[in-house]
Chains A and B, each alone.
Chain A
Amino acid sequence: MRKFSMKELTKLEELVMIAIWRLEEDAYGVKIKNKVKEIGGREYFYNTLYTTFDQLTRKGCITKHFGEPSAVRGGKRKVYFHITKKGRSELEKAFERHNRIWAGIDEKSFQKESP
């Protein structure tokens, strides 16, 4: 297996992981896409999302398990994603970084004159 030097999560990766996290047991393609749209505010295509899934899988942040095939999906199985321990710690790091970056800034800060 190829070794990845662990970089910080990208915005999209963060978004996807949070979507998966929130969906808990029900995190598969369509749902994740809708969730990402809901919390991220814009629509991503499957192509992009699946590339991100692959990337996250390789980084070891998420795992998958196969669901049952259903007729509405043309007989194809769903793939459900879960956050791994490592993924959780990565999210935590992202959260900390986020807080660090935005520390001391709140809504009021934006109403003042620009620095």
Chain B
Amino acid sequence: MDGKKSRIPKIPFWLMKHISSCDNPDAYSGDIEEEYSEIQKCRGRTRARLWIWRHVILAIPRWATNIFLWRIAMFKNYVKTAIRIFFRHKGYTFINIAGLAIGMACCILIFLWVQDELSYDRFHENAEDLYVATFSNGSIVTPTALSDYLKEEYPEIIRASRYLGQGRNLLKYRDKQIYEEGGIMVDPDFLKMITVKILKGDPATALDDPSSILLSEQVASKLFGTTDPLGQTLTYNTNLDMKVSAVFEDYPRNSYLRFQYIIPAALALKYDKNFVTWDRNFILTFVQLNPETPVKGVDAKISDAVEKHRPQDKRELSLQPITRLYLNPFNHTNVRLTYVYLFSALAFFILLIAGINFINLTTARSSNRAKEVGVRKTVGAYRSHLVRQFFSESLILTVISSGFTLAIVYLSLPMFNELTGKLFTWEFMIQDTVVFGILGIIFLTVIISGSYPAFILSRFSLTKVLRGKLMTGMKGCLFRKILVVLQFSLSILLIIGTIMIFRQIHFLQESDVGYDKENIVYFGIGTRFRQNIDTIKTELLSNGNVMDVTLTNVAPYRWNTNAGYGDVHWEGKTHQQVKMVMTSVDYDFLDTFKLKMAQGRFFSKEYSTDASDAYVVNQAAVKAMEMDDPVGKELKVWELAKRIIGVVEDYHFESLHSEIIPMAMRIEPDSYSQACIRISPYRIPDTIAFIEKKWKEIYPEYPFEYMFLDDAIQNQYRSEQATGKIVTVFTILALFISCLGIFGLSSYTAEQRTKEIGIRKVLGASVWSLFKYISREFVVLVIFANVIIWPLAYFIMSRWLQTFAFRIDIGWWMFVLTGISVLTVSLLTVSWQIIRVATTDPVDSLRYE
């Protein structure tokens, strides 16, 4: 036998002791030990063990019922007490519920948004195995030959597909014709890789025929109405006949990929023998890995896949998960991910602010509850019971608030959708993750708001409470003050953030882009237009309101995204890589956009060589190539060697997120695809009608669709604008909740000090001096909050601004302005209560004794 201590197995014995709920636990366990050793002596150890385990198991049902019944009984009492208290202090209850409800509503809305942002491309059945080939500089635009090569050379890659967006194209069926933006050109593997639901037709063969087309439900119904689209032939871009081989369910919105119809890449091969090439980058390459393969190993293997075929391209190739594509797109660095973090933080702050309200109001009024705590303790409540009680109270309040929360969310969903450009519906909220998220938010609220009061209130020492010595010492007050400072710091941070975001957006929209973007109309054109350009130009210019007409190869505000990067050589080249964008323009480009020349001259028809042997570069290019005297030097881009005839002053040809990059312009009539027309600001509708008439003469079969350049540029900053609006709304709400909190606190203070104020008044204090006296406390807190948050705000905002290549300076006035406005708002909030008390007749406040 072992030593005395190990005679009894610990676990069952411990269990035994803890699940029994009798009045004499010691005697009880003593008895068990006694009998256990008796049994062990007579019938052996195993028997004894069996005996004790049987005891344990048989004791469980009674124990469970006991716990349950007593908890329920007590909970009923807690609910009753809580509801009585809520009704007795309607004002505070209202403040608590309003704060919590608004806070949680904000939190839930933001949670919906974040959840949606993170859900992009996760719905694919193979989402974990899908990747997009990415260069080490973040570009996902790859050569057309890559996908076939990857699939053949690397057994780990089981599927691969090219992916090429089609721009705007005309689909025509009998007399119905529509423009569709969302066409893509892919390989047959694509349908097996991503998850797209085919409603009609066979997905396995749908892309086999080069002239087949797959339509989305939406496009099919637009084009065919009630006719069965399957097997019908439609006209693609007026010259190709395509057979509808399948109809797919409208592709989910939460994907980086967007498409309305699919055509096979084989079609491009049929018409362009040089389609598959290593020389140019213009498509995306999607691959699917074998699920058992770790992506790291594949990354290492394929890193030189492009370099092998195109030695001058030193960029390494790697695979980026498809699920990251939306949050981390190639041309912006992590902007969306930043917003996800930003908004999550915002949600948490708002919840925290609302929770602090609850904490402050509860602890501030703790003296009112102290007697209750004392009595409860006297009749035998343990501290744990009191903790449980106060948690129950915050739970009850949170549950009540969450009812209002759901109502607020429901009512504000349409508004929120408009703000964010998402499509949340009420049904969306019944998803598992969302329900768990919401429950999580409620739970978090209970924890935040319930914890501190529960531990503070349950700590009251019995004797002190009942003798009337309450905890009004510095400690409780200090903690409350810290919380108020925290609340206001967060609000101030949010306000400063909002101001910065708006200033920055304003800056982006109003800052000089280097060209005149007002009153420019642009639209896409085709062969017929560009071949007769001279006649058309003359005809258009015959109208007095048409100022200039020019042609170019890409939409004016996004030259960079569509133009490829070329290999660059120049006279006196001393260093290696220069990234250069090549664009095609025509002779009127300079005048139409009102650009300025820095050196040399622009293209002119007077020089016959300009059409074939001339580049105009921008200042950024000159700087990148480190040329002293660029005019007349030879420059070779994409193996095209021409002379530089002039340098144009830098202008922002893409979003102000990015720096101006080197660019070379040339005359290349075959690649013109956009017409840009400067019109006079007068009688714009007439001018547009005139242009449309001309269009109809050239393209009777195509409808005329145009954009204003400044609108298009505005759209570029839509994501910032939306963010700005969302942040503003939530900031205002956060400040509102904070103010609710100090409103509650100040009214409580005023109430507590009614007598003091009465005495002061009797002794001759004026309303104004009383006001100063009481509001000082809050003013100090708000000022303190300002001072401690400013450095942090400065740090965070300067980090955010670094995502912009062109940005505002952070001015000290923003901080001061925020400080003063917050101070004013909070002073106004507290003054209402203070003045109410300060103007009361002292007779009333002192009389009742």
Contact = CB atoms under 8 A, between A and B. Distances in A.
Given A74-B8, A74-B33, A76-B33, A29 B28 contact: yes
A48 B62 CA distance: 9
Contacts of B27: 28-29, 50, 76-79
B30 A78 contact: yes
B35 interface: yes
A30 B28 CA distance: 9
B127 to A, nearest CB: 54
Most buried by A among B20, B22, B31, B58: B31
3 cross-chain pairs, A with B, having the tightest CB-CB distances, nearest first: A29-B31, A76-B30, A79-B27
B726 interface: no
Interface in B490-530: none
B818 interface: no
Interface in B4-30: 4, 8, 20, 22-24, 26-30
B73 to A, nearest CB: 13
21 contacts: A29-B27, A30-B31, A30-B34, A33-B31, A33-B35, A46-B55, A47-B58, A48-B62, A50-B20, A50-B28, A57-B23, A64-B24, A69-B30, A73-B33, A73-B34, A74-B29, A76-B26, A76-B27, A76-B33, A78-B27, A79-B27
A78 B28 CA distance: 9
B767 interface: no
A73 B24 contact: no
Output the residue of A50, A64, A77, A79 with the most chain B CB within 10 A: A50
Nearest to B61: A47
A69 B27 CA distance: 10
A29 B20 contact: no
Contacts, number: 71
B22 A50 contact: yes
A29 B62 contact: no
A71 interface: yes
B59 interface: yes
A74 B14 CA distance: 13
A29 B28 CA distance: 7
A74 B29 CA distance: 9
B680 interface: no
Given A33-B35, A73-B34, A51 B22 contact: yes
A107 to B, nearest CB: 35
B32 interface: yes
Given A50-B22, A71-B4, A45 B59 contact: yes
B749 interface: no
B62 A47 contact: yes
A50 B24 contact: yes
B37 interface: yes
Interface in B25-61: 26-35, 37-38, 55, 58-59
From A47, A48, A71, A72, residue with most partner B Cβ within 10 Å: A47
B62 A51 contact: yes
Nearest to B31: A29
A92 interface: no
A74 B28 contact: no
A73 B62 CA distance: 25
Contact of A46 (B4, B26, B31, B38): B31
Interface in A66-85: 69, 71-74, 76-79
B32 A46 contact: yes
Contact of B31 (A48, A51, A54, A73): A73
Interface string A41-63: 00001111011011001000000
A48 B20 CA distance: 10
Nearest to B19: A47
Given A28-B31, A72-B33, A77 B58 contact: no
Interface in B199-227: none
Nearest to A31: B31
Contacts of A33: 31, 35
A72 B28 contact: no
Interface in B54-78: 55, 58-59, 62
Nearest to B23: A54
Contacts of A72: 33-34, 37
Contact of B59 (A47, A69, A79): A47
A47 to B, nearest CB: 4
Given A50-B22, A74-B33, 8 more contacts: A28-B31, A29-B30, A30-B38, A57-B23, A71-B4, A74-B8, A77-B26, A78-B31
A68 B69 CA distance: 35
A51 B66 CA distance: 11
Contacts of A57: 23
B380 to A, nearest CB: 12
A50 B23 CA distance: 8
Contacts of B62: 47-48, 51
